[in-house]
Amino acid sequence: MRPPATPRERSAPEPAPGQEPRDASNRDAPEAAEEPRTSQERPRASQESDTTTSDEASARPGRGSTARAHRPSTPEPSGSAAELPVTDLSDLAPAAWPTRMAAAWPAVPLLVALALWGYAMRHTDVSALDDYGLVSALHPTFWAGLAVLTAGFWLTVRDPRRRNGWSLAYVLGLLVMERATQAVLYPTPLYAWAWKHDAVIDHLLTSGGLQTADQLGDMAVYDQWPGFFAAQAALVRLLGVDNAAMYMAWWPLVSSVLLLLPLLLIYRTFTEDRRLTWTAVWLFCVANWVGQDYFSPQSVAFLLHLGVIAVVLRRYGRSGGRGGRQGQAVWTVLLSVLVTAIVVSHQLTPGMLVVTLVALVFTRRYRHWVPAVTTVVIFLAWCLTAALPFLSAAMPDMIRSIGDVGANVETGYGATPTGAGAVATSWAARLLSGSVLLLALVGVLRQRVLRHRALPLLLVAAAPLPMFVASSYGSEMIFRVLMFTLPGAAFFAAAALLPKVRTLAADAAARETGGRSPATMARRRRLPLPSLPPLRYGAWVPPLVLLAGTLAFVPSYSGKDRINYFPPREVALVQRLFDQAPDDSLVVAANRNYPLAYEQYWRVDHYWFLDDDRRHVDEIVRDPAAVLARDMAAAETPARAYFLLTQGQTANSEMNGQLDKAQLARVRESVAASPRFELIAENSAGVLYVLKPAS
């Protein structure tokens, strides 16, 4: 006796031979073709069709149902629901696997790119860098990985079905490939300035407090802006490590990841368009080649600077700051804490913040003086108290530099790239920055809606430009202005690469019109455009521009690693010097580009003769041993005078147009042949001599 038919079997008519079963999800096919919907907006029937149960699969004609037709029916257990037993894989829903694979396909380019990066890390040799730095040393799979990562990001961010998590994953992958490569490849931290900051932290841990200029000389400036160093000293104690050199190689990656939060808050203030937001973040990461993300006060100060801008844009505008006076007071307290941390940590960032906040005040949307006045008051209070000794000495030079734009932007002696590699990497950086700024201009002109809706962000990008008139900041003002301009410039540059952008106001208008924006309705009233090849609309131009910028970041950021990298043997040579140098000793070197250059600066003096007057440098080149012995004779017993020449000094001198390799070799040979000097240590990274006491 045949078992009774289930309700599903009675209600579902059998399809005719050769006819596909009708699906409820196809009823709205014309409407779906007219206006695509995201996965969240799909009809319920189509969502249910993606998760077909086993009994629905058995009701469909096919190989599985035919095979089950010849099997003897099994009576159902009494008291149980009407279910067909799962016997083999033919009972599974065939549509589930393609749906899951389609949802997870962005993981494939990301994993492939990271795998190529990992392979490149294992097959890259940095033992002998040339004038192109890391560019020529990297394994070719690194460049292939960057190309795959960029292509995957572009396809993912343009797909409306993808969520923000995939875009974030690609940006994090980009930061790993950009900022973690050096930490993985180099066994020692980069940048002589990072080693200098480690020495300042060591001084705070050793002395237990701040000291004046009478005790430290020029290095007392760090004790007058101690915020970053005091925090790092506490972190060293908290982690239980010997010094900050144990983790400062990974600081560029950490500081770059932390920048993502304020960037996203700033960009999402003006748009909810996921494409625009994440493309702007990507452009910011690849265009931020200036190198201020290393272990330094400015890396933290820049992060806090963007945090202040995010708070002001989101909470002090016309539509922000809800919650009455009490809520506004809370945000003012948070703002004061952030500004104080900036003011006590860095000299330049407070000035950049002041000009940015003042620029925002002059817009109709942000006529709120509290952020600007708070920043100015805290800044002046610090300058007139703790920082007054340094500012009193530096004020005459600062006043003379005001208005001298030509001198403020020139590099000067010892900072001009020399050689094919140095010139090529310098031009790569210039072209990268120039391209982003040009794209930003195109975005402003092309995306008319942003000129009004995102005007405050345009002012944020333009506000640092007057700082060219104020000071040269040690010939670095042009680089610092570029860094502070970049967050706003990247936003408008991303708008230039996208066909259409969405603002918060446009989204609100679209919701009021039933989900259709006025622009979409206007397009539907027009005659449809003919189907043309994608290249006619320049569909390939934006991804190619994005790929070119991503690849150009590597020479711009790592092209001078011959200068910035100090191998372990060079570190060991310098460490041997400080292990035996008595108090008040003198260290003479060509320049300060070597590890531990400021080690124990509170008890050992330094003299870098390439920083001296050009005429004196020429005297040293003509008769190195005699002139150097005369300069080093000031050290009195028991103090000693040391001459140190390392490969880091040589690379910096050659690539920055000071002394070439032949001139430095002549200095080394003259010292080696002089009876006034005694060899202390020597290896492939440099030499160390001591001046013999006069008879």
pLDDT of 472 reads 64
Residues 551-557, mean pLDDT to the nearest whole number: 94
- pLDDT grade, residue 446 (50/70/90)? confident
- pLDDT grade, residue 478 (50/70/90)? confident
β-pair partners for 641: 586
β-pair partners for 588: 607, 643
- For 106, phi then psi, to 5°, come to -60, -20
Q: Which of 23-32, 314-323, 414-423 has the highest mean pLDDT?
A: 414-423
Q: What does pLDDT average to over the chain?
A: 78
Residues 616-625: tens digit of each pLDDT: 998 999 999 9
pLDDT at 25 over 90: no
55 Cβ contact list (under 8 Å, min separation 6): 6, 8, 83, 84
User: How many whole angstroms separate alpha carbon 327 and alpha carbon 321?
Assistant: 7
pLDDT at 121 over 60: yes
More confident residue, 90 or 612: 612
pLDDT of 375 reads 92
Helix then strand then coil, % of the chain, to nearest 5: 60, 5, 35
pLDDT of 210 reads 74
- pLDDT grade, residue 41 (50/70/90)? very low
pLDDT at 469 over 80: no
More confident residue, 561 or 502: 561
Residues 264-285, mean pLDDT to the nearest whole number: 92
Q: What residue type is 325 in one-letter code?
A: R
User: How many whole angstroms separate alpha carbon 225 and alpha carbon 347?
Assistant: 7
Residues 579-602: tens digit of each pLDDT: 989 988 999 999 999 999 888 888
Pairing of strands 641-646, 677-683: unpaired
Distance of CA 326 to the CA centre of its chain: 36
Q: Which residues of 107-145 are buried (b: 16+ CB within 10 A; e: fewer)?
A: eebbeebbebbeebbeebebeebebbbbbebbbebbbbb
pLDDT at 282 over 60: yes
Q: Flag the least confident range among 41-45, 122-126, 276-280, 648-652.
A: 41-45
Q: What percent of the chain has pLDDT over 90?
A: 42
Q: At CB < 8 A and 24+ separation, what contacts does 205-210 make?
A: 205/233, 205/236, 205/237, 206/602, 207/602
Q: What percent of the chain has pLDDT over 70?
A: 73
